[in-house]
A = this chain, B = another copy of it.
Amino acid sequence: MKIGIDAMGGDFAPKAIVEGIILAANEIPADTTIVLIGNVQDIQQIIDNQNYKGTNIEIVEANETIEMGEHPVRALQSKPNSSIGVGFKLLKTGEIDVFASAGNTGAMMVGSLFSIKTIEGVQRPPIAGFAPQIDGKLAVILDIGANADVKPEMLAQFGVLGSIYAEATMGIDTPRVALMNIGEEEEKGSLVAQQAYKLMKENTSINFIGNIEGKDFFKGKADVIVTDGFTGNILLKMGESLYGIMKDRGIRDEFLDKTNYEAVGGSPIIGVNGNVIIAHGSSSATAAKNMVHLCRKVVESKVTEKIKEALS
């Protein structure tokens, strides 16, 4: 297995990313190679400083970097040799099995759509996040930001994609799929949510359990939480803020620890022809290490192949 990592992406790159990758390299099996993409000299120097002597890190040169604030489409077009541009080339040709970056989220999204492209039958690929539950598990929440405006059909399909993802990568049998809404009853909510409810109820390929409300977000009621990319992004970011808030107040707790984004490692784009993970912009070495483990899990699960099969 070859895991491609953008060494230059993220607020603390390349140092935090490379240091995290070295931590991961010491934990992964011998048949797994991490392919670091970026400025070879910079990367090599961090590896040397860390005194890493292992053999499962490779470096591929990318002499440009897309900055966080750049316009995704323009940046990818004008910087084909950027670490994100090179990463998608390697992913498309099969030289890596998964590509992950803590860099420009928009560029990762655009790269996915234009380079490896959407799986046939997928309307608009969502980004999936992970919401910690009080029962100790994680729920998949999607979309968390790729599609701020959605149609009912898209929400219904997010349910299908999330269900396949939860089953393949998390080993959950017939995952409980819920629609995030402002009331339990079928007729509650926005016009889009009302229509989505009907479509999801009729869809026999998912185990739709109905609406859940904001108060249920952490309560372990669902394995897959379906929502638009606007609501999902705001909810997840609010949830992630709890770890820091309570830590500053001197409160540590196992549940709160799981709201720390570092523990999760990243957010997969679901429904594209390849495995793509978007990591948090402020990824630390710990986050980068966990990004590698998430990459491994996604590749091993063959979730992308399973989505293709399900939609064919």
Interface residues of chain A, those whose CB is within 8 Å of chain B, are: 134, 145, 148-149, 180-182, 189-191, 193, 213-219, 229-231, 233-242, 245-246, 248-249, 251, 253, 255
In Å, the complex CA distance between A182 and B231 comes to: 9
A157 to B39, CA, bound (A): 50
Tell me if B253 and A246 are in contact (CB < 8 A).
yes
Partner of A182, one of B181, B191, B218, B230: B230
Q: A224 to chain B: closest CB distance in Å?
A: 16
B-chain residues with CB within 8 Å of residue A215 when the two chains form the complex = 237-238, 240-241
Chain B contacts of A216 at CB under 8 A?
241
Give the CA-CA distance A245 to B236 in the complex, in Å: 17
**Identical chains bound together, number:** 2
Asked if B255 and A249 make an inter-chain contact with CB atoms under 8 angstroms apart, the answer reads: yes
What separation, in Å, do the CA atoms of A145 and B182 have in the docked complex?
A: 7
Q: How far is the CA of A219 from the CA of B245 in the complex (A)?
A: 8
Q: How far is the CB of A47 from chain B (nearest CB, A)?
A: 33
| The residue from B190, B234, B245 contacting A255, defined by CB atoms under 8 A apart | B245
Q: Which residues of B contact A218 (CB under 8 A)?
A: 238, 241, 245
Chain B nearest CB from A194 CB (Å) reads: 9
- In the complex the two chains form, what is the Cα distance from A216 to B245 in whole Å? 10
Partner of A193, one of B145, B213, B230, B236: B230
Q: Are B253 and A241 in contact (CB under 8 A)?
A: no
With contact pairs A149-B191, A251-B251 given, residues A241 and B229 touching in the complex (Cβ less than 8 Å): no
